[in-house]
Every structure is written in structure tokens, then in C-alpha cells.
Amino acid sequence: MMPAPNALEDIRNELQQSADQLGLRLSIEKDFEELRRIHEAAMPHEKFNPTYDPAQRQIDPKSWWLSARTAQGRVVATHAVAMLNGDLDELIASCRLWLDRPPDDWYQVESSLRPLPEPVTGRLSHGGAIWIADDWRSRHLSSLLLMHNKALCLADAELTHVTGVVFEKIARRTLPTAAYGYPTVHLVISGYFPPMRKLTRMYALAMSREVAEFRLFNRFRTAQAASLQR
């Protein structure tokens, strides 16, 4: 059952009010080239996630990224959502999650692929490109952006799963489960990863639409209750 649009809008409005208290405006953006420029300027020694790079793959027109901007227009935080159709295992195995055409050495990944324990297929939202400016850390901006984007994802009646991928450094922490709410954190690649040109261990994150709805509304109600007790 799809949540009422006004319920999701209420959540987004509450989250915007939280951003207002920080002096920030949350905006839905469509220019992925701008997102790439922001990330490359902030992290010049790190490769930008090709899932959100229009130079690397055709991005579904219903995809977007969320920015947090100061009153002066400076972007201090981002989180992107790519909308996908298909099976997550197949999107990973074919490299289409990252590139329209796999690199010549993609065959090296085949022996290191590990399928998900359960099928994740249909209309998928795929979150990533999370970034917080150094001088804006420790203000819960990542949770703010992720919750806002999850509410936007759930407004899509065709959505079946909320997904993402993280490297082992993040997977070993409590972030994917405790902070992001994913019940599935599964190793899918262990070995050489051509798009990054390095050995890595990559984990897929997935939750069904029903779980995403329950966790978003439960977390929102908990936050509301806490604010009433202050």
C-alpha cells in the first residue's frame, strides 16, 4: 500500500524545517554534471561515482540529487538517487550499474561476483554520492538528506526496492543498518574492480518498499516524539 502523498510531504516539510534551523535550503537538482564538478572540486584525488556521471552512463530522467545550500548559495552537502529498472544482481554483474559499456577488463570481476541472498528486482532507487563539507560535519546532515530522498523515492508508485552499494570500510561500521536502515548488507564483489582500477570488497544494500516505508515513518514518529519531550 502506497503511503498518502500528504504524509510524505509532511515528512519532507519537517525535514526542510530542520534544515532551515541550520540556515540551509534543500533543493532537488537535475544537473548531474554540476554534482560531478562539486565532488571533483571537494575530493580531487577520488574518482567520482560513475553511477551518477552522465559521461559514463545514461541516467534515467527521473533520477535526481539533493543539495543543501547556504543562504549564499554554497552547496555543503549532496546525496543522489539514480532510478533503475531490472535486477540488481544483473546490473552489478553486467557493470551497467556504473557504465553503459563495461571496460575490456571487466571479465576479471566475474570470478569475484557473489549473488544476493534474495532477488532484488523491479523499479529500484539507488542512492549514493553522499558528501558533507568538512565544516558542516557532525550536524546530522547525512540523515537529513537520506530521509528526504527516501520520502521522494516512496512517492514513486512503481518503486519496489531502495538500494545502494558501499565499500568494506563503510559496511563494517553500523551506518548501513543503524543509520541507513538497510536489513540487507551483502558482499557482492571481492577482487579487482575495473571502474576504480583497484582491488576492493563491495557490499550491496537493499530494502523492500514495505521495509523502507515502515522504517521511514517509524523514524519520523520517533523524532517527533523526542522533539515534543524537549
pLDDT digits (tens, 9 = 90+) for 172-208: 887 788 878 899 899 999 999 988 888 899 999 999 9
Query: Distance (Å, rounded) from C-alpha 113 to C-alpha 222?
Result: 38
Q: What is the pLDDT of residue 82?
A: 98
Q: What is the pTM for the complete model shown?
A: 0.91
Query: Distance (Å, rounded) from C-alpha 60 to C-alpha 7?
Result: 26
Query: Distance (Å, rounded) from C-alpha 175 to C-alpha 11?
Result: 22
Higher pLDDT, 225 or 171: 171
- CATH code, residues 5-228: 3.40.630.30
> What tens digit of pLDDT does each residue of 36-81 get?
999 999 999 999 999 999 999 999 999 999 999 999 999 999 999 9
Q: How far is CA 164 from the centre of its chain?
A: 6
Nine-digit cell at 187?
558482499
* Domains of the chain, residue spans: 5-228
